[in-house]
Structure 1
Amino acid sequence: MKGLALNYLFLLLIVVVFIVVGIGILRYFYGGTKLDQNEITYPMDVRYTCIQINNTEISFQDFQDVLYGFLTGQCNDFSAKTSQRMTLSDVNRAVKAIDSSVEVIKINECMLPSVNTHTVYLNFSEIEEGRNIYLARREIDDSDVLICG
């Protein structure tokens, strides 16, 4: 009788191991990965985004997507109203997340310099929510980007 009881116990242990392994395999193949809402995944095509949210109110996440379009040559002209406050350091962080070789420089006037250096130029240190923001670039490869607020 003792041998029979141990046999069932061993069989039950094997079944439990198979169930645990099966659940692990199913989670691996069908579980997928969860992306953070604020995580930016590159590369992406934002030409449609630049057209659709032009002249609307945008969040900082939308601004990052549009900025990606400008730095990659997908967008050339954009204006919108900000729904969040933005600072020079916020823009600098967004630019570095897209392309670490691009510099961000603050200027006084809203005009692109005549020499192209693949730089982002800002004419503000901080822009409050509800203010208009304007982005422009020349239609050439590695153009400078101008952001006016």
Structure 2
Amino acid sequence: MTLIARNSIEKLVPQREPILMVHELISQEEKKTVSRFHIAADNLFVENGQLQAPGLIENIAQTAAARAGYVSFSTNEPPKIGFIGAISKLIVHELPQVEEEIETTVEEISSFMNVSVIKGSSVRNGRVLAECEMKIFIQEDV
């Protein structure tokens, strides 16, 4: 099941092609979000037929952005811009191949004022590809 389809995902995230790394929002709960991403051969982060670690990290970050965008969209507020402040506990177990789909889960660990800490993981066919924690700063209205 898909909550937000590929043709509508740009309503939730500020990124656009060719850097868009989330294609669908699969589920959204209070603290947990799941996205899907199809890896194309012409993706900026593909090298030697595989999505490289920076692409997996960007996919996790954009899943967090889709989470925040969905919350804003649900309350009729404009989406806020977020920035990765820190990445920790990064483990890349394996790299996915071109034309594969990955599912990415982001869980909010904590949130205070304009800073959130999330735990993210990307999987393919039930196998964990990458996992990390991120500190994300949300830009306040100017």
Normalising by structure 1, report the TM-score: 0.35
Structure 1 or 2: more strand by fraction: 2
Q: Which one has a bigger Cα radius of gyration?
A: 1
Structure 1 or 2: more helix by fraction: 1
Normalising by structure 2, report the TM-score: 0.36
Highest RCO, 1 vs 2 (Cα 8 Å, sep ≥ 6): 2
